[in-house]
Amino acid sequence: MTYRVIQWTTGTVAKEAVTGILGHPDLELAGAWVHSEEKDGRDVGEIFGLAPLGLTATRDQDALLAQPADCVVFTVGRTWVNNPMETFGDLLRILRSGKNVVSLWWPTLVYPRAQDDELYKQLEQACTDGGSSFCTIGMDPGYGTAALALSALALAREVRSVHMTQIMNNAFWEGPGITMFFGFGQNDVAKMPILAPGVTTSYHATTIAMLAEAIGVTIDEIVEDHTILHSDEAFDVASGHIPAGTICGLRYRVKGISGGEARVVVEHVERLRETDFPEVEFAGDGYRAQVDGLPGVRLDMKLSAPEGYTGDPIAVASAMSVVNAIPRVCDAPPGVLSLLDLAPFPSKNPYTGGFESA
């Protein structure tokens, strides 16, 4: 069966999603929605730096949703940081139109059943109205943490705890967002947005709820803690200068407590140098899932790019986590889904003889 797919918005991850759709034998690109006037009416391939596809992008949501299609790849940017509700309305509209949605937007929706009750009810009602299904995946929250942990849990019994970690070197990310958000190059911990009370919990609470359900425990409370690292020397990264004595690393944990014990933990190690936080014993970027049970299980996952590829492998992984899930989501009964509801969805995109970035 061929599934017709609409790409919703453009950008780095969206480009990787379109490339994945075009290379998947069971998927067909049916259209694309763009936000800007500059992209409206242009060939979709041209927008993404690909060969012309004979497919025109549009800002007209009504016209696009009136077209026959099975699924929408929803890769809207970080509108959820400040005010997610306008974009949430677009999402509900797509679901009511009868089109399934695989999403990389608003990462807390990886497990909407643990989200705000009213939001979950609206999602469920939209799926009911349209006979559609909805699933958010991505990397973290998403496949890099939750799915890796679920794989580790498949091997264990007598599970005491599950611990998920993302390890990321931010030295190569450009833009002030990295330095401002994580506080790199600053002295005042109180001005680090990521450490404002409740912020890390808001990002990861639904992942904790998903894994708590998976192992059959009830979370009594969620607590946060963190470790800050200050640089012993001045150095430069892509996003700016890091003076000596300023913040250069952050390790935070969000812990789901049950019966006085941390039973489900999500941790981030955000650093600018490979030598920072050596106790983590993880070289490069990646993800770790660790199960304290019988047996104890630790799975480490690294993402890398083949020789000749100049793009971002994390962007590819994020995009393909939803592209590869499209058939599963389209075939599922109508409703709000999570990784707990989907069978594994391996890639069907064959090697075509080169890895050059498009």
Element (H, E) at 35: none
The number of CA neighbours under 13 Å toward the Cβ of 17 is: 31
Element (H, E) at 150: helix 148-153
Residue 357 has pLDDT above 60, yes or no: no
81 falls in which pLDDT band (50, 70, 90)?
confident
CB 11 within 8 A of CB 75: yes
Residue 117 DSSP one-character state? H
- State the average pLDDT over residues 33-41: 95
The number of CA neighbours under 13 Å toward the Cβ of 303 is: 21
Cβ neighbours of 120 (radius 10 Å): 16
Angle, helices 85-96 vs 117-130, to 10°: value is 30
pLDDT, mean over the chain: 94
Structure confidence at residue 108 (pLDDT): 87
Structure confidence at residue 355 (pLDDT): 57
Q: For residue range 292-317, list pLDDT tens digits in order.
A: 999 999 999 999 888 888 888 989 99
Residue 177 has pLDDT above 80, yes or no: no
| Listed residue (221, 309, 334, 327) closest to 16, CA to CA | 309
Distance (Å, whole) CA 356 – CA 354: 6
Distance (Å, whole) CA 80 – CA 100: 20
Distance (Å, whole) CA 194 – CA 96: 34
- State the average pLDDT over residues 212-224: 97
| Listed residue (147, 180, 185, 153) closest to 166, CA to CA | 147
How deeply is 232 buried, as exposed, middle or buried, from its count of CB atoms within 10 A (0-12, 13-18, 19+)?
exposed
Residue 286 has pLDDT above 90, yes or no: yes
Q: For residue range 247-270, list pLDDT tens digits in order.
A: 999 999 999 999 999 999 999 999
Structure confidence at residue 354 (pLDDT): 63
Q: For residue range 98-156, list pLDDT tens digits in order.
A: 999 999 999 889 999 887 789 999 999 999 999 999 999 999 999 999 999 999 999 99
Structure confidence at residue 351 (pLDDT): 85
234 falls in which pLDDT band (50, 70, 90)?
very high
Structure confidence at residue 356 (pLDDT): 56
Structure confidence at residue 42 (pLDDT): 97
- State the average pLDDT over residues 13-20: 96
CB 104 within 8 A of CB 136: yes
Q: Identify residue 155 by its one-letter amino acid code.
A: L
358 falls in which pLDDT band (50, 70, 90)?
very low
Greatest mean pLDDT among 74-88, 146-160, 182-196:
146-160
Structure-token match 């099975």, residue found = 70
Q: For residue range 44-57, list pLDDT tens digits in order.
A: 999 999 999 999 99
Q: For residue range 329-344, list pLDDT tens digits in order.
A: 999 999 999 999 999 9
Distance (Å, whole) CA 143 – CA 286: 12
| Listed residue (50, 96, 69) closest to 8, CA to CA | 69
Percent of the chain having pLDDT more than 70? 98
Total number of residues shown for the chain:
358
Percent of the chain having pLDDT more than 90? 82
217 falls in which pLDDT band (50, 70, 90)?
very high
3-state helix vs strand vs coil in the chain, percent to 5: 35, 30, 40
